[in-house]
Amino acid sequence: MTKVGEHITLDIIGTTKEYDPSIFEKVINEIAKVANVKILNISKYKFEPQGFTILALLAESHISFHTFPEKGIISFDFFTCGNVSPSVALDIIKKEFKHKRIVKKEFNRDTKSLYHDIYSSPGLQKSYVVNEVLEDFKSKVGQHIEILDLEQFGKSLFIDNEIQVATSDEHLYSSTFVNAGLKLNKDKENAAIIGGGDGGVARECISKGFSFIDWYELDPEVVDACNKHLGSIVDRSTEKNSVKCIWGDAFESIKSVEDDKYDKIFVDLNDDQFCIDLAAKNMDSLIRILKPNGVITAQVGSQDKKPEQVEKWLDVFNKNFGNTTLDRVYIPSFDCSWNFSSSINH
């Protein structure tokens, strides 16, 4: 990581009057003195009928004010690569401008980036610290694929802005997934994997000794990206003699599969309503290719973050099989526990 500088923004809320422009220049000079930065030039502009902007160009970057009298807000911005933190401006601004409250945002400017977790809890924004972006593209089937090197979790796959796996803890996800099915019966001649483009479930099935594995995956570009960057997860699964990759729409492909073929079916689709509806619509086809007393297991999401979604998955399984068990494991990179539902085809 290379540090570039420090940045602070202040939104001064509840200002009750429009200050004379000279006040802002006075305050900028006071801040520059305390922060030990050199002013090179000051530019200012007064808007009609109201509002004012002033920008001080510094040898170390900039200081600016912009006023919104109609909203009772003054916005302040200070970025410096100097040795004194820009937060020294806060006490000066509190003294000079009457206000109800100040919204402060501080952050270091450096060569790392932040990637927002779209499933942060309400009122709490969580971000991943990204050391490097290794892949960032849209696949031919329309998925936004990213491979990011995360500071805490290592190389990780994101699809459509949601983390799928991280090298640091993927084994927790895939091993719990496969073991959930094996707990209900030990048969492992033939397995089908629906989805699971990162390859972790395929690797686990190989390690558990399944004789034959049919891997139905929509997007070969996901698998290619994971083979390239997440080798420890995929572990060259696509090259194993026991694994057959069938590319394209899984539910179209299984229409040509004979009845009662698989001991286990692992459904590793995205955990959204579209995929719940897709699985429910095609459940008769999955039951047809599953052996009597065979087991179907699906990742169904997090009860911590999306409890209604987990319940909808369970409803699908109970409606079609009359039974379901739920396995659960905490995944640190997800910052929550994850659930896997299994049913026996009686």
Residue 117: the pLDDT is 83
In terms of DSSP H, where are the helices of 110-169?
none
| Domain edge (last residue) among 142, 164, 186 | 164
pTM, rounded to two decimals? 0.81
Report the amino acid identity of residue 174: S
Note whether 217 and 320 are same-domain residues.
Answer: yes
Cβ-in-10-Å burial (0-12, 13-18, 19+) of 80 comes to: buried
CATH number at 158 reads: 2.30.140.10
Q: What percent of the chain has pLDDT over 90?
A: 80
Confidence of residue 239 (pLDDT cuts 50, 70, 90): confident
| Catalytic position from the list 62, 66, 85, 175 | 66
Note whether 134 and 21 are same-domain residues.
Answer: no
Sign of torsion, CA 271 261 283 344?
negative
Note whether 339 and 303 are same-domain residues.
Answer: yes
The gap from C-alpha 157 to its chain's centroid, in whole angstroms, comes to 9
Give per-residue pLDDT as tens, 7-19.
999 999 999 888 8
| Whether pLDDT at 118 is above 80 | no
Note whether 86 and 146 are same-domain residues.
Answer: no
Q: Give the number of domains in the chain.
A: 3
Give per-residue pLDDT as tens, 282-315.
999 999 999 999 999 999 999 888 889 899 999 9
Residue 218: CB partners within 8 Å, gap ≥ 6? 141, 195, 197, 247, 248, 249, 250
CATH number at 198 reads: 3.40.50.150
In angstroms and rounded to an integer, the radius of gyration of the C-alpha atoms of the chain is 28
66 is catalytic: yes
- The residue range of the domain holding 288 is 170-344
Note whether 221 and 302 are same-domain residues.
Answer: yes
Give per-residue pLDDT as tens, 140-192.
999 999 999 999 999 999 999 999 999 999 999 999 999 999 999 999 999 99
Note whether 262 and 314 are same-domain residues.
Answer: yes
Sign of torsion, CA 46 47 50 54?
negative
| Catalytic position from the list 7, 62, 75, 81 | 81
